[in-house]
Amino acid sequence: MTTRSSTDAARVIPEATVARLPVYLRALTALADSGIRTCSSEDLATAAGVNSAKLRKDLSYLGSYGTRGVGYDVDYLRYQIAREIGVTQDWPVVIVGIGNLGHALANYSGFRSRGFRVVALLDAAESVVGQSVAGVVVRPFDHLEEIVREHDVAIGVIATPAVAAQDVADRMVAIGITSILNFAPAVVAVPEGVDVRKVDLSIELQILAYHEQRKANGAEAAATDGGAA
């Protein structure tokens, strides 16, 4: 017999699935916005840009929220995914390093609409501290601890230069932040129990360049090769 409590600890969701759930959430929101109340796995898979079998398998890890022969109720499924991810509540976030990128992040409205609230912008440079960015005053990096305690912040964003990233991460971890999103092109080491995700523009471009080069070489080979055909 399987106990099915709502906080079933045994139910573990594969990492690859977790990474796709936000995509499904977004696709469901788009469907709901166009007034669609029900959709099949095929519809949703198309909207999310994945294969429908994969979608169904992913959703099956959450539970059985569809109806055979009918499909999924858009709002209901959306709520279930949001609950699973944890974005039915609001997550307070701090951003450290208010340079070019930090400004853009501070001005980004997508945070708020997706369950995240920027509670503070921090920077080490005196020239930046005190500036008002997106209606929020930039505070000194030293205030990190105070802010984190006050708002019970668990998620920190690093948008400093690469050299500062490890220091900032260390401070964050020391103060109790357990999830870090790192935009600096640097490997940051953190203790067990702390999650770091990195977003790295250069790496993405280099991956594209690799495939681009392969395409070019392939075309070249084909031209040399198949020219006489």
Ligand X SMILES: NC(=O)c1ccc[n+]([C@@H]2O[C@H](COP(=O)([O-])OP(=O)(O)OC[C@H]3O[C@@H](n4cnc5c(N)ncnc54)[C@H](O)[C@@H]3O)[C@@H](O)[C@H]2O)c1
Partner DNA sequence: AGGAGTTTGTGAACGTGAGAACAAAATGGG
Partner DNA sequence: CCCATTTTGTTCTCACGTTCACAAACTCCT
Among 36, 101, 134, 175, binds ligand X (CB under 6 A): 101
Total length of the chain: 229
User: Using CB under 8 A, which residues numbered 161 to 220 contact its own copies?
Assistant: 178-181, 185, 187, 189, 193, 195, 197, 199-213, 215, 217-218
What are φ and ψ of residue 215, in 5° steps?
A: -60, -45
What residue type is 123 in one-letter code? D
* 80 sits near DNA (criterion: CB under 7 A): no
What's the rounded Cα separation, in Å, for the pair 101 and 73?
38
Which stretch, 18-26, 60-68, 160-168, 213-221, contacts ligand X (CB under 6 A)? 160-168
Among 44, 168, 169, 173, binds ligand X (CB under 6 A): 168
* 221 sits near its own copies (criterion: CB under 8 A): yes
What's the rounded Cα separation, in Å, for the pair 64 and 155?
31
From its own copies, ligand X, DNA, none, which one binds at residue 189 (CB under 5 to 8 Å depending on kind)?
A: its own copies
From ligand X, its own copies, DNA, none, which one binds at residue 69 (CB under 5 to 8 Å depending on kind)?
A: DNA
What's the rounded Cα separation, in Å, for the pair 22 and 149?
28
* 79 sits near its own copies (criterion: CB under 8 A): no
Among 65, 76, 79, 91, binds its own copies (CB under 8 A): 91
* 156 sits near DNA (criterion: CB under 7 A): no
| Greatest extent of the chain over all pairs of C-alpha atoms, in Å | 73
Starting at the earlier edge strand, list the strands of the sheet with 139-140.
Answer: 139-140, 116-123, 91-96, 155-158, 179-182, 195-198
Nearer to its own copies, 26 or 151 (CB): 26
* 115 sits near its own copies (criterion: CB under 8 A): yes
Total residues in contact with its own copies, by rule CB under 8 A:
62
> Which residues does 36 contact at the CB level (< 8 Å), separation at least 6?
43, 74
* 127 sits near its own copies (criterion: CB under 8 A): no
Among 73, 75, 167, 170, binds ligand X (CB under 6 A): 167
> Which residues does 141 contact at the CB level (< 8 Å), separation at least 6?
96, 122, 123, 124, 168, 171
Nearer to ligand X, 73 or 170 (CB): 170
Nearer to ligand X, 74 or 96 (CB): 96
**Number of helices and strands in the chain (H, E):** 9, 11
* 149 sits near its own copies (criterion: CB under 8 A): no
